[in-house]
Amino acid sequence: DNHVWIAPKATDLRSPCPGLNTLANHGYLPRGGKNISIPMILEAAIDGFNIGSDAIIQAAKFGLLSGDAPTTMDLDALKLHNLIEHDASLSRGDFALGDNLHFNETVFSTLLNSNPGVDYYNATSAGHVQHDRLAISLATNPNITNTPKEFLLRTRESSFYLTLMGNPITGVAPKKFVEIFFREERLPIAEGWKRPNTTITAESLNTIEGIIIDNSNWTLTQICEDLVLGP
Ligand code: HEM
Ligand code: MG
């Protein structure tokens, strides 16, 4: 099976994105994490996740700005702060606090401990997590960036872990699957996960993203930020 999960080698490049890393760990993207084109990403997202191009094309195009190559990117370059990478992530620390690339169990504990008493996360709990992660960053990071751009990205990312690991329509996701996705960057196939049976599109995420937004009680703390267009 070409798509068996293999942990990255020390020389394999990985990103701050658990989605792209999972695709690489399963061989839907090159396992080395280098020289990745937009068509490769779009095909991998459909094959591995049943996530449609329209839901990721903007991020993929921004990704090209992370390096100097005209048509490809390397996964580690995507940590470039304030291009796509932002503060108040779910599973990585803020740039100004040290490491914005690698999984961080302390950061992840906010999501991990959310929606207590049940075995699933949903759009309501995801909104609360976004609120709580931002509150922690505002309290600890004097250099935080928090504009509408970051909020848009964070909300799309929350909708991805809910619909990819859970029901693609309702966004109800088993906690166990979400934990494996973030911690191991692995598809929890052995645990019973199945590839979403309907394609996840920007349109299909609308309702879930609306609920996340309603429950995140978000306010901007800046209007503008430095424009990042390259390394
Ligand atoms: C972050 C999922 C596609 C670049 C994230 C996060 C999730 C996610 C859940 C949040 C991680 C966190 O907050 O700790 C996915 C899925 C994708 C996908 C399921 C489907 C293929 C992409 C694409 C790009 C990208 C196409 C660009 C080429 C990033 C970056 C981050 C990120 C740079 C870090 C943002 C941050 O938390 O600071 N992604 N993503 N992702 N994603 Fe993706
Ligand atoms: Mg981040």
The neighbourhood of ligand 2, an ion, using CB within 5 A, equals 85, 89, 92, 100
Q: What is the average per-residue pLDDT within 22-48?
A: 98
Which atom in ligand 1 lies closest to the alpha carbon of residue 103? 14
Rg (CA), the chain: 16
pLDDT tens track for 195-228: 999 999 999 999 999 999 999 999 999 999 999 9
Cross-strand bridge partners of residue 51: 200
Site to substitute for ligand 1 among 20, 90, 106, most atoms within 8 A of C-beta: 20
Q: Are 177 and 187 in contact (CB under 8 A)?
A: no
Which atom in ligand 1 lies closest to the alpha carbon of residue 80? 33
Distances in Å between the alpha carbon of 10 and those of 24, 34, 141, 160, 227? 14, 13, 30, 27, 32
Count Cβ atoms below 10 Å from residue 135 Cβ, excluding itself: 13
Averaged pLDDT score across all residues of the chain: 98
In this prediction, residue 6 has a pLDDT band, given cuts at 50, 70 and 90, of very high
pLDDT tens track for 125-161: 999 999 999 999 999 999 999 999 999 999 999 999 9
Residue 60 in tokens: 């993929």
**Angstrom distance (rounded) from CA 29 to CA 10:** 17
pLDDT tens track for 37-80: 999 999 999 999 999 999 999 999 999 999 999 999 999 999 99
Which atom in ligand 1 lies closest to the alpha carbon of residue 57? 26
- CA of 101 relative to ligand 1 center, distance in Å: 11
Site to substitute for ligand 1 among 157, 161, 182, 200, most atoms within 8 A of C-beta: 157
Q: Find out whether the beta carbon of 101 lies less than 6 Å from any atom of ligand 1.
A: no
Q: Find out whether the beta carbon of 59 lies less than 6 Å from any atom of ligand 1.
A: yes
pLDDT at 1: 78
pLDDT tens track for 155-195: 999 999 999 999 999 999 999 999 999 999 999 999 999 99
With a cut of 90, say whether residue 82 has pLDDT above it.
yes
pLDDT at 80: 98
In this prediction, residue 25 has a pLDDT band, given cuts at 50, 70 and 90, of very high
Please tell me whether residue 187 adopts helix, strand or coil conformation.
Answer: coil
Q: Find out whether the beta carbon of 110 lies less than 6 Å from any atom of ligand 1.
A: no
CATH class of this structure's domain 18-216? mainly alpha
**Angstrom distance (rounded) from CA 47 to CA 143:** 38
Please report the ipTM that was assigned to this predicted complex: 0.99
